[in-house]
Amino acid sequence: RLFAPYPKSHASPIPTLVYFHGGGFTIGSIQTHNVLCRELARIGQCAVISVDYRLAPEHRFPVATNDAWDALQWVSKSAESMGLQANALAVGGDSAGGTLAAVCAIHARDAGLKLALQLLIYPGTAARQETTSHNTYQSGFMLDKATVDWFFDHYIDAKDRDDWRFAPMLAERHDGLAPAWIGLAECDPLVDEGVAYADMLRMAGVKVDLEIYHGVVHGFVNMGRVIPEARQAHQDAGRALKHAFALGQ
């Protein structure tokens, strides 16, 4: 699904964010993230292409990662025919979609595809959920341990959990990746691995902007009608996109 901040009559090609929705690789859709993508397009002044990748359990790992990378490559090759800038691309996603975006950023570096930004909203980055935040927020904070286990049991076999396409932290190297904007929720089992991934990227020389939104839970960016922090995150992410695309001009 394509979201654009301008009418079809707009003459100049515009930059594009390829976005992957969250949902533990098993639920969610372009419809569940409709409002978020509209806001990112409006604030970021860019097109947003929301990808309807295949879900588990019918399509287990690595189908989602393959779909995500195929989608990014297709957008890169087809951008001009859609009135988009082929040389102004970013990837983004939340939760499982953030994992897919991080994986695509690594694939893009290896393929020589330049990205302006990787926009990662509380991404999963670790092979196993063993951090302090996973223990602290394992129950009563929206995304509980039982739900995480259910998602991953339906998505991936135990033997594949150390594959970097599931756990981007385990990629052989992280240098040369696109700059990152990482937005995390304080009361989220995934917050520690998000911080750890930000640190890992910085250590590899990647520019990282990290925002931790206090007092909110996993999934908060989809709650913009009731949570002010969600609207703030929309503004911050949109500005990050706008700035990244401006730097690439």
Strand 208-217, strand 84-94: pairing: unpaired
Name the catalytic one among 67, 188, 192, 209.
Answer: 188
Catalytic residue among 33, 95, 133, 174: 95
Respond yes or no: is residue 95 known to be catalytic: yes
- Determine which one of 21, 33, 107, 218 is catalytic: 218
Residue 218 designated active-site: yes
* Positions marked active-site: 95, 188, 218
